[in-house]
Structure 1
Amino acid sequence: MATTKTVILDALKELLKDEFKDFKWRLSNSAVSIPRGKLENADVHDVVDLMVQHYDKSDAGKIAVRILRNIKQNELADQLKGKLLEVPEDVPAGAGSSSSGTPVPAKTAGPTVTITSNGGTVNAPVVHGCNVAGSMTFN
């Protein structure tokens, strides 16, 4: 079964040496970039691992597609985008809940969160692009 990492890997393996170098350069010079030092000697496998670590899986795929378009690899970007749509989402067991108490599938792997409401509105914070060690409280 294909995973986000394997479909990104397969797409990046199609790039020539200079195209891959350009891909890494753009990855290190984007709005939410991966440090150049980590990418400097990274091979294709390392780059995919860094992308999934630095961004969540869904964003890693979207960023890969965008950078492929930026380096004029539109056909490869279209193929990757199509393959990403076929990848099943990673949903941890028991993750997600709605205000009615009915489980809702999570979009990405992460902590298990249960949110309940007794007829009111639930406003939940969104945390993205960071690693948290220990507890986190929102008031």
Structure 2
Amino acid sequence: MATTKIVILDALNELLKDEFKDFKWRLSNSDASIPRGRLENADRHDVVDLMEQHYTSDAEKIAVRTLRNMKQNALADRLEGKQEVQEDVPAGAGASSSAKPVPAQTAGVTMTITSNGGTVKAPVVHGCTVNGPMTFN
């Protein structure tokens, strides 16, 4: 399982320069803020370390809340879901073309996305090998 620090770092790496600056500003202006001087010249790795030191076990929740406040909801959703994804998928696991569902332990990751007339930003599949058909509905 991915560590909290890696999960947060992955999310911060998705932010553009101005978005990252906004993220740091929000951390320094929150209820339990990190001092502005500590964040001023901090890069993404430094921010993750500061968050873990300052917020301890709540660092991921604070990151999600901050991203949501920035209207980075897709990134916040992805950050929330990453802790549940296994890093090492068992051998033989992958997509299934059968009509019946495959348990999550065997398939690796199962996702259900619904929309009631809005736009759905679906996950991007990259950095993997797919043996067999893959269906997106």
| TM-score, with structure 1 as normaliser | 0.60
1:12 aligns with 2:36: no
Structure 1 gap segments, 5+ residues each: 88-139
Q: Say what the alpha-carbon RMSD is for the aligned residues.
A: 1.6
Alpha-carbon distance, 1:31 to partner: 0.3
1:47 aligns with 2:47: yes
1:3 equivalent in structure 2: 3
Q: Distance in 2 between matches of 1:31 and 1:86?
A: 30
Alpha-carbon distance, 1:86 to partner: 4.3
Alpha-carbon distance, 1:84 to partner: 2.7
2:102 equivalent in structure 1: none
**Matched-pair contact (CA < 8 Å) for 1:8–1:48:** yes
List 4+ stretches of structure 1 deviating above 3 A.
none
Percentage identity across paired residues of the two chains: 78
1:74 equivalent in structure 2: 73
SS state at 2:41 partner = coil
Between the two proteins, the alignment pairs up a number of residues equal to: 87
Q: Distance in 2 between matches of 1:20 and 1:85?
A: 25
> In the TM superposition, what are the counterparts of 1:1-139 in structure 2 within 5 Å?
1-57=1-57, 59-86=58-85
**Which structure carries more relative contact order (alpha carbon 8 Å, separation 6+)?**
2
SS state at 1:56 partner = helix
Write the deviation string for residues 57-93 of structure 1: whole angstroms up to 9, x where unpaired.
Answer: 3x10000000001111100000000013448xxxxxx
